A and B are shown apart, each in its own frame.
Chain A
Amino acid sequence: MTSCYVVHEAPVRRVAIFGGTHGNELSGVFLVKHWQENGDEIQRTGLEVRPFITNPRAVKKCTRYIDCDLNRVFDPDNLGRQITEDIPYEVRRAQEINHVFGPKNSNDAYDLIFDLHNTTSNMGGTLILENSRNNFTIQMFNYIKNALAPECCPVFLIEHPNLKYATTRSIAKHPVGVEVGPQPQGVLRADILDKMRKIIKHGLDFVHIFNEGKEFPPCTIEIYKIMEKVDYPRNKNGEITAVIHPSLQDQDWQPLNNGDPIFLTVDGETINYEGDCTVYPTFVNEAAYYEKKQAFVKTVKVKLTAKGIRSSLS
């Protein structure tokens, strides 16, 4: 008997695991390369799982990108752009990826894409959600969180009316970002790699169980929803004049209240947070975000409920 709170979702048959969307975030790069040689641990009955290096030139140079951030160009403009000589490498690459794993927003697109990232911030093993109404993905995150407990697995929702990411994974029907830190760029830490590996294992297990017909009852998870990005204090030449305050450093996902220190100037002056409500900062002191003028991201904690789901073809 199926409860009336359960929606039928198409089975998830085609899955991709992307590594190297940023070429210096090494956990995903090395996991994907390992799985390309020996993919036993990511195979599940009834599933096609494809490990794939998305930005091979950036991986080779061990740099975030060659011309522009690959993880910001999967929008209609760039995906439809005429190929010319001077087109950025990543835009050309985005079109190739969209051709193979998309097209974005089409029926032919891959069902699920995991995109593997690292951060220099102390974010732990974070799952990134793009759409607050995607029952399947929320159910998967709920499953992964429970499987990893008591270890913490924060969920970061990047849905926002003005901030549009146009991520690499966004071409899939169910895009999943995996962001594990802290890990310096160009460094491979065994503990961080292991954390990422476990997230993927549980994610694939969930897909497998779902495809086999298991019903997942409605669930509610706590998530962090993006509010806004906060830049460093700067002088009139645009140079940074204060750094992340020691009491905010490494405190990703911890409450930040009005009057709490956020920056410290070179002269030793503390700059405090001014805001009416408690926020939860994340991406605190991420190396790649200095150029994006972003010291940290403010989030608020909210609860998100997913409907019960069941595979439609079981």
Chain B
Amino acid sequence: LCSSPSNRSRPLSCVAVCGGTHGNEMSGIYLAKHWLRDPMELQRSSFAVTPFLGNPRAIEKCVRYVGQDLNRTFTTEFLSSTEAEDEPYEVVLAREINQTYGPKGSAQAFDFMFDLHNTTASMGTCLIVDSEESLLPMHMCHYIQMHYTRSPCPIYLYKLPGEETYSINSVAKAGLALELGPQPQQVVRADLFSQMRDIIACALDFIELFNKGTVFPAFEIEAYKITGRMDYPCYPDGEISAMVHPKLQDKDFLPLNPRDPIFQTFSGEEILYEGNTTIYPAFINEAAYYEKKVAFVKMEKHMFSIPGLQRD
């Protein structure tokens, strides 16, 4: 009556946690395998949590993917494609995952999906949400930032305006991806493993509180929103001709100003950032982005006002 009205949302009953969407990002793979053997620590009283392995064949081979990037395959184009003999393994897999945890955009879809990733970039414990308009995930991020205090958890909003969602957790009604780094591909580091585990525990606690009727008031929150991608300089034959500048290396989420160095050629020349405004880079020198020629992702830092939230 006197307080500003909160948005109301139905309680979550079905939650999935996916490790190994990329088969060489080991924190999530080791965690999901552990939870498949012993799911006890995932249990909460008000909802069910299903751990699963996203890309079993890629995990088996310890590669990112077999045919194509699974985490770019959850678009209408692929999900509605008809079976073909020569289609990539991940397209088949995406349809199966969509059957089990979706269908995407339907009432039967899982309420929430966590997706566990690692990066070779120094992104720390980064939380990835599609956009600031995703209310429940934004509240979850806020809760994690308040309660998981071992390391800062920057929020990365990954969806470009007008872009269709394509990630595995877009199959569920809402989702959150964790992106922990730096960790080399194929390597499991104990520190990142336990950080990821603790963040998931914290996020599950949030869902439990939400389901039980806790009112989460409105808040202001800082988040980084993607604006574009920066390609590597290349030779005419397509091979990269410069590397990430040592002054930019490991500086994810820190301001990058016009005329700051971003690349260094093999002859030692510097290439400067030509933009007009300060940006915030992330995924700096991510191994998997070389094939996409992406040196880093460009972001802007914004404050967002997130309305309150409570269970319906």
Contacts and interface: CB of A to CB of B under 8 A. Distances in A.
A273 interface: no
B189 A287 contact: no
B249 A185 contact: no
A31 B190 CA distance: 32
B185 A287 contact: yes
Given A30-B266, A185-B186, A190 B191 contact: no
B186 A187 contact: no
* Max chain B Cβ within 10 angstroms of own Cβ: one of A62, A189, A239, A288: A189
Contact of B184 (A34, A184, A193): A184
Given A184-B287, A185-B287, A264 B243 contact: no
Contact of A243 (B120, B188, B243, B246): B188
Contacts of B183: 184
Interface string A269-297: 00000000000000001111011000000
A249 B33 CA distance: 22
Interface string B174-196: 00000000111111111101000
B187 A287 contact: yes
B198 to A, nearest CB: 12
A156 to B, nearest CB: 20
Contacts of A249: 189-191
Contact of B186 (A31, A33, A290): A290
Interface string B2-38: 0000000000000000000000000000100110000
Given A30-B266, A185-B287, A249-B190, A120 B249 contact: no
B125 interface: no
B186 A287 contact: yes
A302 interface: no
Interface string A79-120: 000000000000000000000000000000000000000001
A259 interface: no
- Chain B residues touching A, range: 20 to 34
A246 B30 CA distance: 16
Given A188-B243, A287-B186, A34 B266 contact: yes
A198 B240 CA distance: 22
* Max chain A Cβ within 10 angstroms of own Cβ: one of B184, B267, B290: B184
A196 to B, nearest CB: 12
A231 to B, nearest CB: 15
Contacts of B33: 239
A266 B243 contact: no
A62 B290 contact: yes
Contact of A190 (B30, B185, B193, B245): B245
Contacts of B62: 290-291
Contacts of A186: 120, 185, 287-288, 290
Interface string A203-244: 000000000000000000000000000000000000100011
* Max chain A Cβ within 10 angstroms of own Cβ: one of B183, B185, B239, B288: B185
B223 to A, nearest CB: 27
A194 B240 CA distance: 17
B50 interface: no
A310 interface: no
A30 B189 contact: no
Interface string A165-183: 0000000000000000011
* Max chain A Cβ within 10 angstroms of own Cβ: one of B182, B190, B267: B190
A33 B264 CA distance: 16
Contact of A187 (B193, B287, B291): B287
Given A184-B120, A287-B185, A193 B190 contact: no
A185 B30 contact: no
B287 A30 contact: no
B167 interface: no
B55 interface: no
B244 interface: yes
A30 B267 CA distance: 12
Contacts of A62: 290-291
Contacts of B264: 190
* Max chain A Cβ within 10 angstroms of own Cβ: one of B187, B245, B287: B187
A85 B188 CA distance: 38
Nearest to A285: B187
B187 to A, nearest CB: 5
Interface in B243-257: 243-246, 249
Nearest to A290: B186
B285 interface: yes
A33 B120 CA distance: 24
30 contacts: A30-B243, A30-B266, A62-B291, A184-B120, A184-B184, A184-B185, A185-B186, A186-B287, A186-B288, A187-B287, A188-B240, A188-B243, A188-B244, A189-B243, A190-B244, A190-B245, A190-B246, A190-B249, A191-B246, A193-B243, A239-B33, A243-B188, A243-B189, A243-B190, A243-B193, A249-B191, A266-B30, A285-B187, A287-B186, A288-B186
Given A120-B186, A285-B187, A290-B187, 6 more contacts: A30-B243, A184-B287, A185-B185, A186-B120, A243-B190, A287-B186
Interface of A: 30-31, 33-34, 38, 62, 120, 182-191, 193-194, 239, 243-246, 249, 264, 266, 285-288, 290-291
Q: Which 5 A-B pairs have the closest CB atoms?
A: A184-B184, A186-B287, A287-B186, A34-B266, A120-B184
